[in-house]
């Protein structure tokens, strides 16, 4: 399978704000390393999940990957071509073919616009339709692909007239209207009722099966990632610490952080006897990255070496990579 997206050594660093007095007196600039050197490949029709706690850099990775935030370093290849501001042609194609589904369907739809205009916006901005009739036909097609049927009944409504699930389907229709080959879905069901989450995930998988769309699914929920992904990447403080086949990560992951996440994952009753690993210490802060292995202050297996030497992400089995000195 060919790679749709390839990310090489992606870094997103920001100058941090420590508070007025601290900034005034401090000579040191605080650097927030939100994303700190990520390599990732996503194949055609593949669903890869990026899983980690809040503050791990998942959303920033997704945004940087779509050039929606600045990149400090690194290269992004889309369908084999380097995407950068210098390569205008590749960037234009990338902007059309790579789309984002946001977490909050309430915030991501302009309440003053009709559904017709919201979904048609990418077509209009990119001058891809020549008549009102063509615009309506494309919107109807996108809405129906996203499960809004009959589309004619909904497209003259406003977002507040729709349910949460219908709004998220409109968000998906807006992402689908330019026939994307890659979608970053940032916590796409976390704001929805449990009863409609499965429908939205099913829709994403159907789109993958029918159109070969590849997804980067960003989620804090490992069980959800396990349910629909081909591969799972576990992220901690700006880095991927383990990546591999979804079944393998859920069943026999090797990194102590992945093991802790898996141990608290909801599972069928027959697996209920496993030991829960509750991590100690503070939640990650990308402005204060520990020396050595960045997980060492919370790692139950840490040794002295872990405090000084950062482990590299190494292939331990075909397609299974882990960053830990003990593996
Ligand atoms: Fe834990 Fe050390 Fe492995 Fe880091 S390198 S995960 S601190 S055992």
Q: Which residue has the tokens 């889309």?
A: 78
How far is residue 111's CA from residue 208's CA, in Å, rounded to a whole number? 29
Backbone angles phi, psi at 245, to 5 degrees: -55, 140
The answer, yes or no, to whether any atom of ligand 1 lies below 6 A from the CB of 236, is: no
* Crossing angle for the helix pair 115-125 and 164-176, to the nearest 10 degrees: 20
What mean pLDDT comes out for the span 31-49?
95
Residue 201: per-residue pLDDT:
92
Instruction: Determine which of 54-58, 85-89, 293-297, 313-317 has the lowest per-residue pLDDT on average.
Output: 85-89
Of the pLDDT bands very low, low, confident and very high (cuts 50, 70, 90), residue 310 is very high
The answer, yes or no, to whether any atom of ligand 1 lies below 6 A from the CB of 188, is: no
Residue 264: per-residue pLDDT:
84
Inform me whether the pLDDT recorded for 283 exceeds 90.
Answer: no
Residue 153: per-residue pLDDT:
93
How far is residue 241's CA from residue 29's CA, in Å, rounded to a whole number? 27
Of the pLDDT bands very low, low, confident and very high (cuts 50, 70, 90), residue 43 is very high
Average pLDDT for the chain: 90
Residue 276: per-residue pLDDT:
81
CATH number of the domain located at residue range(s) 3-322 in this protein: 3.40.50.300
Give the closest residue (by CA) to ligand 1 atom 8.
302
16 Cα–ligand 1 center, Å: 27
What pTM was estimated for this model as a whole? Answer: 0.91
Inform me whether the pLDDT recorded for 231 exceeds 80.
Answer: yes
Inform me whether the pLDDT recorded for 4 exceeds 60.
Answer: yes
Inform me whether the pLDDT recorded for 26 exceeds 80.
Answer: no
Strand, coil or helix: 172: helix
Identify the CA nearest to 177 among candidates 131, 122, 225.
122
Of 80 and 26, the one with more pLDDT: 80
Inform me whether the pLDDT recorded for 269 exceeds 60.
Answer: no
Backbone angles phi, psi at 265, to 5 degrees: -80, 135
Residue 30: per-residue pLDDT:
77
Those residues whose C-beta lies under 8 Å from the C-beta of residue 115, and which sit 6 or more positions away, are 139, 143, 154, 155, 156, 157, 158, 159, 162, 170
Q: Which ligand 1 atom is nearest residue 257's CA?
A: 6
Segment of 22-36, 91-105, 108-122 carrying the highest mean pLDDT: 108-122
Residue 268: per-residue pLDDT:
60
Inform me whether the pLDDT recorded for 19 exceeds 60.
Answer: no
What are 101-133's pLDDT values in tens digits? 988 877 889 999 999 999 999 999 988 999 999
Of 255 and 197, the one with more pLDDT: 255
Residue 136: per-residue pLDDT:
95
What mean pLDDT comes out for the span 219-240?
95
Q: Which of 52, 240, 256, 321 to mutate to test the pocket of ligand 1 (most atoms within 8 A of CB)?
A: 256
Identify the CA nearest to 105 among candidates 168, 156, 150, 148.
168
How far is residue 78's CA from residue 65's CA, in Å, rounded to a whole number? 10
Residue 121: per-residue pLDDT:
94
Residue 28: per-residue pLDDT:
60
Percent of the residues in the chain that have a pLDDT greater than 90, as a whole number:
68
Nearest 5°: CA angle at 278, between 275 and 283?
A: 155
The answer, yes or no, to whether any atom of ligand 1 lies below 6 A from the CB of 298, is: no
60 Cα–ligand 1 center, Å: 24
Inform me whether the pLDDT recorded for 97 exceeds 70.
Answer: yes
64 Cα–ligand 1 center, Å: 28
* Length of the chain, in residues: 327
Q: Which ligand 1 atom is nearest residue 325's CA?
A: 5
Of the pLDDT bands very low, low, confident and very high (cuts 50, 70, 90), residue 17 is low
239 Cα–ligand 1 center, Å: 14
Residue 271: per-residue pLDDT:
57
The answer, yes or no, to whether any atom of ligand 1 lies below 6 A from the CB of 256, is: yes
Domain extent listing, the chain: 3-322
Residue 31: per-residue pLDDT:
85
Those residues whose C-beta lies under 8 Å from the C-beta of residue 154, and which sit 6 or more positions away, are 115, 143, 148, 162, 166, 170
Residue 86: per-residue pLDDT:
80
């Amino acid at each position: 399978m060919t790679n749709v997206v390839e990310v090489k050594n992606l870094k997103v660093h920001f100058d941090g704000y420590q508070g007025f007095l601290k900034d005034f007196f401090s000579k040191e600039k605080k650097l927030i390393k939100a994303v700190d050197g990520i390599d990732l490949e996503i194949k055609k029709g593949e669903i890869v999940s990026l899983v980690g706690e809040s503050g791990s850099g998942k959303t920033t990775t997704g945004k940087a990957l779509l050039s929606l935030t600045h990149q400090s370093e690194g290269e992004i290849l889309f369908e084999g071509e380097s995407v950068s501001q210098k390569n205008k042609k590749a960037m234009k194609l990338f902007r059309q073919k790579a789309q984002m589904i946001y977490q909050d369907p309430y915030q991501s739809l302009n309440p003053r616009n009709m559904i017709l205009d919201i979904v048609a916006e990418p077509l209009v901005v990119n001058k891809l339709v020549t008549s009102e009739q063509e615009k309506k036909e494309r919107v109807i097609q996108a809405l129906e692909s996203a499960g809004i049927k009959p589309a004619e009944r909904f497209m003259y409504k406003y977002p507040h007239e729709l349910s949460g699930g219908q709004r998220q389907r409109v968000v998906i229709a807006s992402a689908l209207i330019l026939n994307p080959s890659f979608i970053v879905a940032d916590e796409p069901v976390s704001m929805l009722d449990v009863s409609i989450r499965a429908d939205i995930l099913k829709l994403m998988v159907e789109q993958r099966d029918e159109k070969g769309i590849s997804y980067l699914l960003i989620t804090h929920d490992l069980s959800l990632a396990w349910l629909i992904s081909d591969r799972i990447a576990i992220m901690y403080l700006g880095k991927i610490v383990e990546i591999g086949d979804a079944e393998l990560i859920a069943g026999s992951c090797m990194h102590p952080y992945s093991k802790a996440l898996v141990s608290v994952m909801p599972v069928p009753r027959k697996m209920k006897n496993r030991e829960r690993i509750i991590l100690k210490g503070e939640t990650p802060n990308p402005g204060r990255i520990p020396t050595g292995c960045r997980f060492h202050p919370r790692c139950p297996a840490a040794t002295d070496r872990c405090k000084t030497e950062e482990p590299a992400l190494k292939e331990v089995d075909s397609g299974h990579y882990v960053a830990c000195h003990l593996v």
